[in-house]
Amino acid sequence: MNIKYLFFSLFALIVLSACKPNSIEIEVYTSDIKSVANGEVLEVPLKASFNLIGEDKENQLPKAKIIALKYLPSDSEVQIAKGTYGKVMSVVTTIPIGNKTGIQEYLKKNSRLAAVFVEGGTVKILPTPAALKKLNKELSTINFMLSVNLPASSTTFRIVGDTKEKMNISAIAVFSEKKPYLLYSKDVKRRKSIELKFMGGDGSVYKEIPPQFSVK
């Protein structure tokens, strides 16, 4: 077998099997953060994209899409399109936001792969281990190396102000409006919004800890 062909075949298999989101975008309103403090659980919009290099000769992605939809809300959308160097899978869905107790109760009746937790003035996105384990077990029937892993290579929170009172948002080692910040802090006023981008690639702290910000 040609060595170059073998190398690229193995590379494509590894990239296809990793299934780590290239990006995740979550939109949260300041009223959401205030509401969940009392135990309420809400659903917030999430967009995710997977850039998959290489050819899907065995048609694994459409099969993976069918399985993934079982773990998402019924109105979720999963699209597969041709990208520059392979396939792009886009997911439009929602995930719950709430405190730890509220989320735990919510997940007993609703299967979700991740959730936004609000605890002690900290807002963070975390995978839900039980659902993710079941999803990956089903995906392994297509390809034993196929799985979904979090955090994403980049996670963006868009925080929208919709309350009369302003809310202070602070975070460490983030990008906002394409500018890097070691220590970020800004008040979100009504009808205004900010974006926080957390990089989760190799060598980043947010590969090891969940993307998170503080509110007050």
Q: Which of 159, 196, 122 is nearest to 29 (CA)?
A: 159
Residue 13 has pLDDT above 70, yes or no: no
Sequence-ordered list of residues with C-beta below 8 angstroms from that of 84, at least 6 positions apart, any chain: none
Q: Which of 198, 192, 199, 186 is nearest to 162 (CA)?
A: 192
* Structural domain count of the chain: 1
State pLDDT tens for residues 53-75.
777 777 888 898 999 999 999 99
Residue 11, both tokens? 């590379």
Residue 85 has pLDDT above 60, yes or no: yes
Residue 2, in any domain of the structure: no
State pLDDT tens for residues 118-127.
999 999 999 9
Outline where DSSP puts E strands in 22-85.
Answer: 23-29, 42-53, 77-82
Residue 3, in any domain of the structure: no
Q: Quick count: other Cβ atoms within 10 Å of Cβ 192?
A: 14
State CA 213 to chain mean position distance.
15
Residue 8, in any domain of the structure: no
Residue 145, in any domain of the structure: yes
Residue 55, in any domain of the structure: yes
Residue 2 has pLDDT above 90, yes or no: no
Quote the CA–CA distance of 196 and 72 in Å, as a whole number: 25
Residue 11, in any domain of the structure: no
101 φ/ψ sector (left φ>0, alpha ψ -120 to 50, else beta):
alpha
Confidence category of residue 155, pLDDT binned at 50, 70, 90 = very high
DSSP for residue 207: G
Quote the CA–CA distance of 154 and 199 in Å, as a whole number: 4
Residue 116, in any domain of the structure: yes
Residue 111, in any domain of the structure: yes
Cα torsion 90, 13, 126, 216 to 10°: value is: -60
End-to-end CA distance of the chain: 61
| Parent domain of 116 | 18-215
* pLDDT (average), residues 160-176: 96
